[in-house]
């Protein structure tokens, strides 16, 4: 089985055509990528598809609206996390999957939290990457990123993080206007009271050099069935493919299987 070049299919939800891949057999795990990324960039290239596929899971990942091969509306009101969580739920329904393990990175972790709150019956377990207590508190000022994405050229961008995201968007030939719209409304916070209602078993992995995610332990402490994982010496961009994270994720999912049996 080829875990390097998955075939993409598409389905329609909320008036948008959304792309996804569905590889393998076994227990399903749904992967939800981060802002300005894609299913391939977040999950195929760093080896997650191979890791989960070789471990016997059915691996499903979608390109979030505004990203990758999916439709890219330019209206910020189309990018609230509840709407993108609805896309994820609709994909599971489209595939006839009643429930799945769910893993999200950064914005994808936020979407996963909204999915778990709106459709708890669909979520067997949760793995958050690159998002700790910032889920509740926010993570700095992202407005310069929207401005950077809308700027006529990279030469017009002076903000350091804005330049980083603008460069990445240019390299991936992304729709910058869609991404700017997304970043304006996809950062919606989850209250501590709502986080405490997420009862699915959860693993929260954050790099020790990540200055965006906030504390993994602080978020885990709010949730009734969560644990924190420190990903050593990794920042927000590098933690996603880390071998420590992969091993911990496999062990965590293995525990879910043991509990079920």
**pLDDT tens-digit readout, 9-51:** 999 999 999 999 999 999 999 999 999 999 999 999 999 999 9
How many Cα atoms within 13 Å fall on the side-chain side of residue 53? 19
Which regions of the chain does DSSP assign to beta strands (E)? Answer: 8-13, 16-23, 28-32, 58-62, 100-105, 123-129, 202-207, 226-231
Maximum distance among all Cα pairs of the chain, rounded to whole angstroms: 58
Token match 């999200």: residue?
A: 104
The parent domain of residue 196 ranges over 8-138+186-260
Asked if residue 198 is part of any domain, the answer here is yes
Which whole-number Å values give the CA distances from 197 to 127, 193, 222, 226, in the listed order? Answer: 16, 7, 9, 12
Asked if residue 155 is part of any domain, the answer here is no
Q: pLDDT-based confidence at 171, cuts 50/70/90?
A: confident
Quick one: which of 90, 95, 93, 41 has its CA closest to 63?
41
Mean pLDDT of 117-136: 98
Asked if residue 170 is part of any domain, the answer here is no
Asked if residue 228 is part of any domain, the answer here is yes
Cα 71–chain centre separation: 18
What strands, in cross-sheet order, belong to the sheet with 8-13? 8-13, 16-23, 58-62, 28-32, 100-105, 123-129, 202-207, 226-231
For the cut 70, the answer to whether the pLDDT of residue 79 exceeds it is: yes
Task: State the distance between the two ends of the chain, measured CA to CA, in whole angstroms.
Answer: 27
Domain containing 91 — which CATH number?
A: 3.40.50.1820
Asked if residue 121 is part of any domain, the answer here is yes
The count of structural domains within the chain is 1
Asked if residue 44 is part of any domain, the answer here is yes
Asked if residue 166 is part of any domain, the answer here is no
Query: How much is the mean pLDDT over the chain?
Result: 94
Q: What does the block give as tokens for 141? A: 């000022």
Asked if residue 3 is part of any domain, the answer here is no
């Amino acid at each position: 089985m080829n875990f390097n070049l998955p075939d993409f299919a598409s389905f329609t939800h909320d008036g948008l055509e959304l792309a996804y891949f569905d590889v393998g057999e076994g227990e399903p795990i749904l992967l939800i990528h981060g802002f300005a990324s894609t299913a391939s960039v977040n999950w195929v290239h760093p080896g997650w598809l191979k890791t989960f596929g070789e471990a016997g899971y059915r691996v499903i990942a979608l390109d979030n609206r505004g990203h990758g091969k999916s439709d890219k509306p330019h209206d910020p009101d189309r990018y609230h996390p509840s709407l993108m969580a609805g896309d994820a739920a609709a994909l599971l329904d489209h595939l006839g999957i009643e429930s799945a393990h769910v893993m999200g990175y950064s914005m994808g972790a936020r979407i996963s939290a909204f999915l778990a709150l709106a459709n708890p019956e669909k979520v067997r377990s949760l793995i958050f990457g690159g998002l700790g207590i910032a889920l509740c508190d926010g993570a700095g000022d992202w407005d310069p990123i929207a401005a950077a994405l809308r700027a006529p050229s990279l030469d017009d961008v002076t903000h350091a993080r804005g330049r980083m995201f603008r460069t990445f968007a240019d390299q991936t030939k992304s729709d910058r206007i869609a991404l700017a719209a997304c970043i304006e409304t996809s950062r919606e916070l989850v209250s501590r009271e709502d986080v405490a209602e997420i009862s699915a078993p959860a693993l929260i992995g954050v790099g020790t050099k990540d200055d965006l995610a906030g504390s993994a332990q602080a978020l885990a402490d709010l949730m009734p069935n969560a644990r924190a994982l420190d990903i050593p010496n990794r920042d927000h961009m590098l933690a996603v493919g880390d071998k420590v994270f992969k091993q911990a994720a496999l062990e965590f999912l293995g525990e879910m299987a043991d509990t079920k049996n």
